[in-house]
Protein backbone atom coordinates (compact mmCIF):
# COMPACT_ATOMS: atom_id res chain seq x y z
CA UNK A 1 0.00 0.00 0.00
CA UNK A 2 2.79 2.40 0.92
CA UNK A 3 4.66 1.52 -2.29
CA UNK A 4 1.51 2.28 -4.30
CA UNK A 5 1.17 5.64 -2.58
CA UNK A 6 4.84 6.41 -3.25
CA UNK A 7 4.35 5.69 -6.96
CA UNK A 8 1.30 7.94 -7.11
CA UNK A 9 2.97 10.78 -5.24
CA UNK A 10 6.10 10.50 -7.39
CA UNK A 11 4.04 10.65 -10.59
CA UNK A 12 2.03 13.63 -9.33
CA UNK A 13 5.19 15.49 -8.32
CA UNK A 14 6.64 15.00 -11.82
CA UNK A 15 3.38 16.24 -13.39
CA UNK A 16 3.42 19.33 -11.16
CA UNK A 17 7.04 20.00 -12.12
CA UNK A 18 6.41 19.95 -15.89
CA UNK A 19 3.23 22.01 -15.55
CA UNK A 20 5.17 24.57 -13.51
CA UNK A 21 8.00 24.77 -16.03
CA UNK A 22 5.74 24.95 -19.08
CA UNK A 23 3.29 27.45 -17.59
CA UNK A 24 6.17 29.62 -16.41
CA UNK A 25 7.57 29.52 -19.93
CA UNK A 26 4.20 30.35 -21.47
CA UNK A 27 3.61 33.29 -19.12
CA UNK A 28 7.17 34.47 -19.67
CA UNK A 29 6.75 34.34 -23.44
CA UNK A 30 3.43 36.21 -23.30
CA UNK A 31 4.26 38.82 -20.68
CA UNK A 32 7.98 38.71 -19.95
CA UNK A 33 11.29 38.43 -21.75
CA UNK A 34 10.45 36.38 -24.85
CA UNK A 35 14.04 35.66 -25.88
CA UNK A 36 15.16 34.66 -22.38
CA UNK A 37 12.36 32.14 -21.96
CA UNK A 38 12.85 30.74 -25.46
CA UNK A 39 16.48 30.08 -24.58
CA UNK A 40 15.27 27.86 -21.72
CA UNK A 41 13.63 25.43 -24.17
CA UNK A 42 16.62 23.03 -24.14
CA UNK A 43 16.46 22.93 -20.33
CA UNK A 44 12.75 22.20 -20.51
CA UNK A 45 13.33 19.41 -23.03
CA UNK A 46 16.13 17.92 -20.94
CA UNK A 47 13.96 17.97 -17.82
CA UNK A 48 11.07 16.34 -19.67
CA UNK A 49 13.31 13.50 -20.86
CA UNK A 50 14.79 12.99 -17.39
CA UNK A 51 11.33 12.86 -15.78
CA UNK A 52 10.09 10.49 -18.49
CA UNK A 53 12.88 8.08 -17.56
CA UNK A 54 12.41 8.69 -13.83
CA UNK A 55 8.66 8.01 -13.81
CA UNK A 56 9.29 4.67 -15.51
CA UNK A 57 12.43 3.69 -13.60
CA UNK A 58 10.80 0.50 -12.31
CA UNK A 59 9.83 -0.69 -15.81
CA UNK A 60 13.01 -2.02 -17.41
CA UNK A 61 11.35 -2.80 -20.74
CA UNK A 62 10.01 0.75 -20.95
CA UNK A 63 13.40 2.25 -20.13
CA UNK A 64 15.05 0.12 -22.82
CA UNK A 65 12.40 1.21 -25.31
CA UNK A 66 12.85 4.89 -24.41
CA UNK A 67 16.57 4.74 -25.16
CA UNK A 68 15.93 2.65 -28.27
CA UNK A 69 13.70 5.46 -29.56
CA UNK A 70 16.47 7.91 -28.68
CA UNK A 71 19.00 5.92 -30.74
CA UNK A 72 16.65 5.40 -33.70
CA UNK A 73 15.78 9.09 -33.70
CA UNK A 74 19.43 10.13 -33.61
CA UNK A 75 20.44 7.76 -36.40
CA UNK A 76 17.51 8.88 -38.57
CA UNK A 77 18.39 12.54 -38.05
CA UNK A 78 22.10 12.03 -38.66
CA UNK A 79 21.33 10.24 -41.94
CA UNK A 80 18.81 12.96 -42.74
CA UNK A 81 21.25 15.81 -42.14
CA UNK A 82 24.16 14.14 -43.94
CA UNK A 83 22.33 12.86 -47.00
CA UNK A 84 18.93 14.56 -47.07
CA UNK A 85 17.22 11.27 -47.94
CA UNK A 86 14.65 11.08 -45.11
CA UNK A 87 13.38 14.52 -44.15
CA UNK A 88 14.80 16.73 -46.88
CA UNK A 89 17.72 19.16 -46.96
CA UNK A 90 18.09 20.87 -43.58
CA UNK A 91 20.58 21.71 -40.89
CA UNK A 92 20.44 22.29 -37.15
CA UNK A 93 21.21 25.57 -35.46
CA UNK A 94 22.88 26.05 -32.10
CA UNK A 95 19.89 26.62 -29.80
CA UNK A 96 19.49 22.94 -28.88
CA UNK A 97 23.01 22.53 -27.60
CA UNK A 98 25.67 19.84 -28.03
CA UNK A 99 25.67 17.95 -31.33
CA UNK A 100 26.80 14.55 -32.54
CA UNK A 101 27.48 14.51 -36.29
CA UNK A 102 25.67 17.87 -36.61
CA UNK A 103 22.56 16.63 -34.77
CA UNK A 104 21.78 17.89 -31.22
CA UNK A 105 21.49 15.03 -28.75
CA UNK A 106 18.28 16.65 -27.50
CA UNK A 107 16.69 15.72 -30.83
CA UNK A 108 17.11 12.06 -29.89
CA UNK A 109 15.48 12.88 -26.55
CA UNK A 110 12.65 14.59 -28.40
CA UNK A 111 12.02 11.49 -30.55
CA UNK A 112 11.83 9.38 -27.40
CA UNK A 113 9.50 11.82 -25.64
CA UNK A 114 7.14 12.10 -28.61
CA UNK A 115 7.07 8.38 -29.37
CA UNK A 116 6.30 7.37 -25.79
CA UNK A 117 3.83 10.17 -25.05
CA UNK A 118 1.90 9.82 -28.32
CA UNK A 119 1.81 6.03 -28.19
CA UNK A 120 0.71 6.05 -24.55
CA UNK A 121 -2.01 8.60 -25.27
CA UNK A 122 -3.35 6.71 -28.28
CA UNK A 123 -3.34 3.48 -26.23
CA UNK A 124 -5.82 5.03 -23.79
CA UNK A 125 -8.12 6.26 -26.58
CA UNK A 126 -8.50 3.15 -28.74
CA UNK A 127 -8.73 -0.62 -28.48
CA UNK A 128 -7.70 -1.50 -32.03
CA UNK A 129 -3.94 -1.71 -32.51
CA UNK A 130 -4.28 -0.19 -35.97
CA UNK A 131 -6.12 2.83 -34.58
CA UNK A 132 -3.53 3.19 -31.83
CA UNK A 133 -0.65 3.21 -34.32
CA UNK A 134 -2.31 5.58 -36.80
CA UNK A 135 -3.36 8.07 -34.13
CA UNK A 136 0.03 7.89 -32.41
CA UNK A 137 1.84 8.71 -35.65
CA UNK A 138 -0.68 11.47 -36.42
CA UNK A 139 -0.10 13.08 -33.00
CA UNK A 140 3.67 13.08 -33.59
CA UNK A 141 3.41 14.60 -37.07
CA UNK A 142 0.85 17.16 -35.89
CA UNK A 143 3.19 18.49 -33.20
CA UNK A 144 6.05 18.64 -35.68
CA UNK A 145 3.80 20.66 -38.01
CA UNK A 146 3.23 23.17 -35.21
CA UNK A 147 6.94 23.51 -34.50
CA UNK A 148 8.21 23.66 -38.10
CA UNK A 149 7.18 27.28 -38.87
CA UNK A 150 8.97 28.66 -35.81
CA UNK A 151 12.00 26.33 -35.76
CA UNK A 152 14.17 28.65 -37.93
CA UNK A 153 13.22 31.66 -35.77
CA UNK A 154 14.30 29.76 -32.66
CA UNK A 155 17.52 28.57 -34.34
CA UNK A 156 16.41 24.96 -33.84
CA UNK A 157 16.75 23.88 -37.48
CA UNK A 158 16.13 25.23 -40.97
CA UNK A 159 15.32 23.67 -44.33
CA UNK A 160 16.82 24.81 -47.59
CA UNK A 161 14.22 27.09 -49.09
CA UNK A 162 12.87 28.08 -45.68
CA UNK A 163 9.80 25.86 -45.37
CA UNK A 164 9.61 22.20 -44.44
CA UNK A 165 8.81 20.16 -47.57
CA UNK A 166 6.26 17.35 -47.82
CA UNK A 167 9.22 14.97 -47.68
CA UNK A 168 9.80 16.00 -44.07
CA UNK A 169 6.36 14.84 -42.95
CA UNK A 170 6.61 11.65 -44.98
CA UNK A 171 9.97 11.05 -43.30
CA UNK A 172 8.37 11.52 -39.91
CA UNK A 173 5.74 8.94 -40.78
CA UNK A 174 8.46 6.57 -42.03
CA UNK A 175 10.35 6.72 -38.74
CA UNK A 176 7.38 7.09 -36.37
CA UNK A 177 5.33 4.23 -37.80
CA UNK A 178 7.61 1.33 -36.79
CA UNK A 179 8.32 2.92 -33.40
CA UNK A 180 4.61 3.23 -32.63
CA UNK A 181 4.05 -0.30 -33.92
CA UNK A 182 6.72 -1.71 -31.64
CA UNK A 183 5.36 0.19 -28.64
CA UNK A 184 2.02 -1.60 -28.91
CA UNK A 185 3.27 -4.99 -30.12
CA UNK A 186 5.81 -5.16 -27.29
CA UNK A 187 3.08 -4.04 -24.88
CA UNK A 188 5.14 -1.19 -23.44
CA UNK A 189 3.61 0.30 -20.30
CA UNK A 190 4.13 3.72 -18.73
CA UNK A 191 3.63 4.65 -15.12
CA UNK A 192 0.65 6.94 -14.55
CA UNK A 193 -0.53 9.79 -16.74
CA UNK A 194 2.72 11.79 -16.86
CA UNK A 195 3.15 11.18 -20.60
CA UNK A 196 -0.36 12.49 -21.35
CA UNK A 197 0.39 15.74 -19.58
CA UNK A 198 3.74 15.96 -21.35
CA UNK A 199 2.19 15.79 -24.81
CA UNK A 200 -0.62 18.23 -24.00
CA UNK A 201 1.85 20.73 -22.57
CA UNK A 202 4.12 20.48 -25.62
CA UNK A 203 1.20 21.21 -27.95
CA UNK A 204 0.06 24.08 -25.73
CA UNK A 205 3.54 25.56 -25.35
CA UNK A 206 4.53 25.52 -29.02
CA UNK A 207 1.06 26.59 -30.22
CA UNK A 208 1.18 29.68 -27.99
CA UNK A 209 4.77 30.35 -29.02
CA UNK A 210 3.76 30.09 -32.69
CA UNK A 211 0.87 32.54 -32.21
CA UNK A 212 3.05 34.95 -30.24
CA UNK A 213 5.87 34.98 -32.78
CA UNK A 214 3.42 35.42 -35.64
CA UNK A 215 1.84 38.34 -33.80
CA UNK A 216 5.23 39.97 -33.29
CA UNK A 217 6.12 39.47 -36.96
CA UNK A 218 2.87 41.17 -38.00
CA UNK A 219 3.59 44.12 -35.72
CA UNK A 220 7.03 44.71 -37.20
pLDDT over 50 at 220, yes or no: no
**Ranges of each domain in the chain:** 2-219
Q: How many other C-beta atoms can be found within 10 angstroms of the C-beta atom of residue 83? A: 9
Query: How high is the pLDDT of residue 100?
Result: 93
Model confidence, pTM:
0.89
Write the pLDDT tens digit of every residue in 157-205. Answer: 999 888 889 999 999 999 999 999 999 999 999 988 889 999 999 998 8
Q: What is the C-alpha separation between 85 and 103, in angstroms, rounded?
A: 15
DSSP alpha helix (H) spans, 1-154 = 2-31, 34-38, 41-55, 60-83, 105-125, 129-147
Q: Are 72 and 175 in contact (CB under 8 A)?
A: yes
Q: How many other C-beta atoms can be found within 10 angstroms of the C-beta atom of residue 50? A: 12
The dihedral through the CA atoms of 98, 111, 116, 67 has a sign that is negative
Q: What is the C-alpha separation between 133 and 123, in angstroms, rounded?
A: 9
Amino acid sequence: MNLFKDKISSNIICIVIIWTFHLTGILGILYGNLEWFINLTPLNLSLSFFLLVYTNKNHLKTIIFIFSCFIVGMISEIVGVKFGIIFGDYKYGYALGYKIFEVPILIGANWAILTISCSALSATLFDSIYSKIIVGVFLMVMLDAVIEPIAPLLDFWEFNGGKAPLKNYLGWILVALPLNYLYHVLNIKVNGSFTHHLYILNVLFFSILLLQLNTLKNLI
